[in-house]
Amino acid sequence: MELNTLIAALLLGLLISLLTILASIAESKKWRRRPPGPRGFPLVGSIHHLLTSQPQAALRDLAERHGPEVLQASDLSFASRPSLLAGEIICYGNADVAFAPYGAYWRTSRKLCVLELLSPSKTRQFAPIRDRETMALVAEVRSSGGAAVNLHRLLVSCASSITAMAAFGDRCSGELMEQFLPAVSFVISSISGFCFSDLFPSLRFLDVVTGTKRRLWRARRQLDGVLDKIIAENEARRKAKDDSDGNGDPLSAMLRIRDEGGFEFPFDTTNIKAIILDLFTGGTETVSSIAEWVMAELMKNPDAMVKSQEEVRQAFRDADSRDHESQIEELRYTRMVIKETLRLHPPLPLLLPRLCQKTCTVGAFEVAMGTRVIINAWAIARSTEYWSDADEFRPERFADGVADYKGTRFEFLPFGHGRRMCPGSGFAIASLELMVARLLYYFDWSLPNGMRPEELDMDTTVVGAAARRTNNLLLVASPYEALMEI
């Protein structure tokens, strides 16, 4: 009996060992099909590679060593978003367009944004707002009297005013904006997907310990307070039958949809606030950041500055000052400058994270369902595979006119790609082009304190999802003769 028991135990041990070996082989084969990556550590994996102010550069270096990422042919598989802490808190449970998971609600709300709020006809309708606010920017620069101006501050103010007036319909006072802008800035700095709970769900308590969750809720309350006041003013005006100045703004349009129905899903004030927040964060951060980078690149490259200013002044010379926007199409070189700036300095170097909806094959590798995917737009735009002298500022590379802002060329993705591309790119570009053109038309620019172009720093700091100049751009403006006529 004891011998039989011993034999049985040995056979059982051998069977367990065999099964363990077979399982290890199967797991090894499975992992061989996974995309290769850097060496990791227990618990933290490979996250230490991203602990830098330039995560996009770190990811590019890893990609060069461990293989290319190919998402173009699998856009639908990667069309969803992971649930991030900032999206859950700030965006009202991912009720906006940017963070909503892929599905019927996202498709319907995006359609609302594109057709009702951000269509080409709506963008044209906002032309008077862009005209008024960019001329206010010109007046602000002119008032400096030859002293160095903080162009970053002025551009943020201009972009936020354009966006607020377009989104709210002239209903955001200076006091409300003072409360709103800091909260929006914090939102942008928090949506990278690199919070503890976003990376390690089991360690979500660390977001409480570090105060991240508390700060997000504080920003949410600030945003709620401002948006509630703006919506209340709009509703009061509508009840008084005095909304003639707001028939075309997105807020009024969404309030009508809320009250009259017609949306496929429950659509209340929470949804409205989430979508308005998307419009505001995108319209303010993208436009002001890129306009600042355009001016910095032109100061760094004086020949490009001269060529751009000559073009703008030729096009605007005989035009009505209230209708400069109609002449933008003639600014072929200046528009190439803007594209080249967007290539070198994409507003979101790492596009918002995507989520793999089903296990699929990318190249020769298997990407499991639930995998979080980061598209490195910055690395793509600086890849020598697509661009010669990729780190050099050469606007002429866009002379063929093929690359546009629609994400049709995978090597140029300033506003994303595919189903998750930013729906407000047309609105942003219209504001950006007029801001830059008028700054070039009305002023000659120089660096302060005798600084030479080659001494101008071009350092970048990634704050959350956005990339900004590390130091604000300070320039001296000298009025051009055209300014004397207005």
- CATH code: domain of residue 355: 1.10.630.10
- Given pLDDT bands bounded at 50, 70 and 90, which one contains residue 386? confident
Dist CA 20 CA 378 (whole Å): 44
Q: Does the pLDDT of residue 9 top 70, yes or no?
A: no
Average pLDDT of the residues of the chain: 81
Q: How confident is the model at residue 223, as a pLDDT? A: 86
User: Which three-class secondary structure state does DSSP give residue 400?
Assistant: coil
195 annotated ligand-binding residue: no
CA distances in angstroms from 315 to 263, 270, 328, 415, 457, listed in the order given: 44, 45, 8, 28, 31
Buried b / exposed e over 71-108, threshold 16 CB at 10 Å, is beebeebbbbbbebbbbebbbbebbbbbbbebeebbee
User: Which three-class secondary structure state does DSSP give residue 475?
Assistant: strand
Residue 193 in any domain: the answer is: yes
Higher pLDDT among residues 466 and 224, named by residue? 224
- Given pLDDT bands bounded at 50, 70 and 90, which one contains residue 17? low
- Given pLDDT bands bounded at 50, 70 and 90, which one contains residue 361? confident
Q: How confident is the model at residue 69, as a pLDDT? A: 47
- Given pLDDT bands bounded at 50, 70 and 90, which one contains residue 253? confident
pLDDT tens string 403-443: 788 777 778 888 888 888 888 899 999 999 999 999 999 99
Q: Which of these, 293, 299, 390, lies nearest to 345 by C-alpha position? A: 293
- Given pLDDT bands bounded at 50, 70 and 90, which one contains residue 321? confident
Percent of the chain residues topping a pLDDT of 70? 78
Residue 6 in any domain: the answer is: no
Dist CA 168 CA 185 (whole Å): 19
Beta-strand pair 360-362/354-355: unpaired
Dist CA 227 CA 184 (whole Å): 12
- Given pLDDT bands bounded at 50, 70 and 90, which one contains residue 94? very high
Q: How confident is the model at residue 50, as a pLDDT? A: 55
**Residue 399 structural domain:** 49-485
At 108, the amino acid letter reads: T
Residue 37 in any domain: the answer is: no
Dist CA 73 CA 127 (whole Å): 37
End-to-end C-alpha distance for the chain, whole angstroms: 109
Residue 31 in any domain: the answer is: no
Q: Does the pLDDT of residue 315 top 50, yes or no?
A: yes
Highest-confidence segment of 21-30, 216-225, 363-372: 216-225
Cβ(126)–Cβ(230) under 8 Å? no
The pTM is what?
0.84
Residue 466 in any domain: the answer is: yes
What would the mean pLDDT of 293-314 be, rounded to a whole number?
A: 98
**Out of 196-210, 280-294, 436-450, 460-474, least confident range:** 196-210
Higher pLDDT among residues 33 and 211, named by residue? 211
Residue 19 in any domain: the answer is: no
Q: Does the pLDDT of residue 470 top 70, yes or no?
A: yes
**Out of 39-48, 87-96, 174-183, 369-378, least confident range:** 39-48
Residue 33 in any domain: the answer is: no
Q: Does the pLDDT of residue 299 top 50, yes or no?
A: yes
What would the mean pLDDT of 160-166 be, rounded to a whole number?
A: 87
Higher pLDDT among residues 34 and 115, named by residue? 115
Residue 472 in any domain: the answer is: yes
- Total number of domains constituting the chain: 1
Higher pLDDT among residues 44 and 310, named by residue? 310
Q: Does the pLDDT of residue 120 top 80, yes or no?
A: yes
Q: Which of these, 254, 279, 276, 258, lies nearest to 267 by C-alpha position? A: 258
Highest-confidence segment of 145-149, 271-275, 474-478: 474-478
Q: How confident is the model at residue 28, as a pLDDT? A: 45
